[in-house]
């Protein structure tokens, strides 16, 4: 599928999507959001795609915030509509039954940090920098940043990051739980693929239900423990469960059918 702002490639079940606006440090604008929305349609419909890897073009930036040039023409209603749209698209990423990994290769600021946080796993290059600097513009994060950052790093650290508008380097991001791993920049994509391939060796049915159960922990409208019971029970009606248990008892590697 052709995109205006994304470069895509599929290999070994992993679709790599690169935000391709390097002259703007890959800043989010309406076109990028539209392409990300379409991308989620694509991975949902294409059985060849088993995982998604999102990164940014160039060596400087993953996604360096929103395109600020779009802000001055927006009023309160426009801004609320913009935030709802961004939140809806990032929620699609967060709730994707196929694993999504952010390979953060530089600046992940504002909307870029929010995009990374919507992914299930975050790998950071050593030069990565994270932040929610919206207070420097007289606004706050609007694409879910106030919620996801708080869940990931805790209330106090989230408040510090968002109120100061400062940046967090890769090592601190790892220490506070904002990212899963830090790697040399030259190894970022290879290490990200390695992690995704290890996930893809497991039951896709079970992986999807892990995602759903963990997301339920942050949904106040859902009893997370009851949802875990339901999803656990569903697994017992799948061919993947029968293959996994049989392979374990036979002391061999499972060949999950994904059913």
Question: Tens of pLDDT along 90-131?
Answer: 999 999 999 999 999 999 999 999 999 999 999 999 999 999
Q: Is the pLDDT of residue 152 over 90?
A: yes
pLDDT tens per residue across span 131-147: 999 999 999 999 999 99
How far apart are alpha carbons 245 and 215 in whole angstroms?
26
Instruction: Quote the pLDDT of residue 53.
Output: 98
Q: Average pLDDT in the 63-82 region?
A: 86
* Cross-strand bridge partners of residue 28: 66
- For residue 10, report the phi and psi dihedrals to the nearest 5 degrees: -110, 130
Instruction: Quote the pLDDT of residue 90.
Output: 98
pLDDT tens per residue across span 227-240: 999 999 999 999 99
Q: Is the pLDDT of residue 55 over 80?
A: yes
**Which one from 59, 70, 134, 234 is the annotated catalytic residue?**
134
Instruction: Quote the pLDDT of residue 71.
Output: 82
Instruction: Quote the pLDDT of residue 83.
Output: 95
Q: At 165, is the pLDDT very low, low, confident or very high (cuts 50, 70, 90)?
A: very high
Domain ranges of the chain: 6-200, 204-249
**Which one from 94, 114, 172, 234 is the annotated catalytic residue?**
114
Q: At 66, is the pLDDT very low, low, confident or very high (cuts 50, 70, 90)?
A: confident
pLDDT tens per residue across span 32-42: 999 999 999 99
Whole-number Cα distances in Å, 30 to 89, 97, 154: 12, 25, 30
Q: Which residue has the tokens 């899963």?
A: 180
Instruction: Quote the pLDDT of residue 96.
Output: 98
Mean pLDDT score across all residues of the chain: 96
How far apart are alpha carbons 146 and 179 in whole angstroms?
17
Query: What's the gap between Cα 159 and its chain centre?
Result: 21
Q: At 17, is the pLDDT very low, low, confident or very high (cuts 50, 70, 90)?
A: very high
Establish whether 59 is a catalytic residue: no
Establish whether 70 is a catalytic residue: no
Give the CATH H-level superfamily of domain 6-200: 2-enoyl-CoA Hydratase; Chain A, domain 1 (3.90.226.10)
Q: At 84, is the pLDDT very low, low, confident or very high (cuts 50, 70, 90)?
A: very high
Q: Is the pLDDT of residue 67 over 80?
A: no
Residue 17, both tokens = 């999507």
Contact status, residue 52 vs residue 15, Cβ threshold 8 Å: yes
Reduced to 3 states (helix: H, G, I; strand: E, B; else coil), residue 22 is helix
pLDDT tens per residue across span 103-112: 999 999 999 9
By residue count, the chain amounts to 259
Q: Is the pLDDT of residue 77 over 90?
A: yes
For the entire predicted model, the pTM comes to 0.95
pLDDT tens per residue across span 173-213: 999 999 999 999 999 999 999 999 999 999 999 999 999 99
- For residue 121, report the phi and psi dihedrals to the nearest 5 degrees: -135, 145
Q: Is the pLDDT of residue 70 over 90?
A: no
How far apart are alpha carbons 15 and 145 in whole angstroms?
25
Nearest to 90 by CA among 165, 25, 146, 170: 146
Instruction: Quote the pLDDT of residue 255.
Output: 95
Query: What's the gap between Cα 247 and its chain centre?
Result: 32
CB atoms within 10 A of CB 1: 11
Q: Is the pLDDT of residue 48 over 80?
A: yes
End-to-end CA distance of the chain: 27
Task: Indicate the angle between helix axes 224-235 and 204-216, nearest 10 degrees.
Answer: 170
Q: Which residue has the tokens 């802000």?
A: 71
């Amino acid at each position: 599928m052709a995109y205006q702002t994304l470069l895509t490639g599929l290999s070994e079940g992993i679709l790599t999507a690169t935000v391709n606006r390097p002259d703007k440090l890959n800043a989010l604008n309406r076109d990028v959001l539209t392409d990300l929305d379409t991308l989620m349609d694509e991975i949902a419909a294409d059985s060849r795609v088993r995982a998604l890897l999102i990164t940014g073009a160039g060596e400087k930036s993953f996604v360096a915030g929103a395109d600020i040039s779009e802000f001055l023409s927006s009023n309160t209603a426009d801004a609320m509509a913009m935030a709802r749209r961004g939140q809806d698209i990032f929620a699609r990423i967060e709730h994707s039954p196929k694993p999504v990994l952010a390979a953060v290769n530089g600046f992940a600021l504002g909307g870029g940090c929010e995009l990374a946080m919507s992914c299930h796993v975050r790998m950071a290059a050593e030069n990565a920098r994270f932040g929610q600097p919206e207070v420097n513009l007289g606004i706050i994060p609007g694409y879910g940043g106030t919620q996801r950052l708080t869940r990931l790093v805790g209330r106090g650290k989230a408040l510090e990051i968002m109120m100061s508008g400062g940046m967090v380097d890769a090592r601190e991001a790892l220490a506070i739980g904002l990212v899963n791993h830090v790697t040399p920049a030259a190894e970022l994509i290879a290490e990200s693929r390695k992690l995704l391939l290890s996930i893809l060796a497991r039951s896709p049915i079970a992986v999807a239900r892990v995602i759903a159960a963990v997301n339920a922990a942050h949904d106040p409208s859902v009893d997370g423990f009851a949802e875990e019971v339901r999803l656990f029970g569903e697994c017992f009606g799948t061919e993947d469960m029968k293959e996994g248990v049989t392979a374990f008892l036979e002391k061999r590697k499972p060949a999950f059918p994904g059913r």
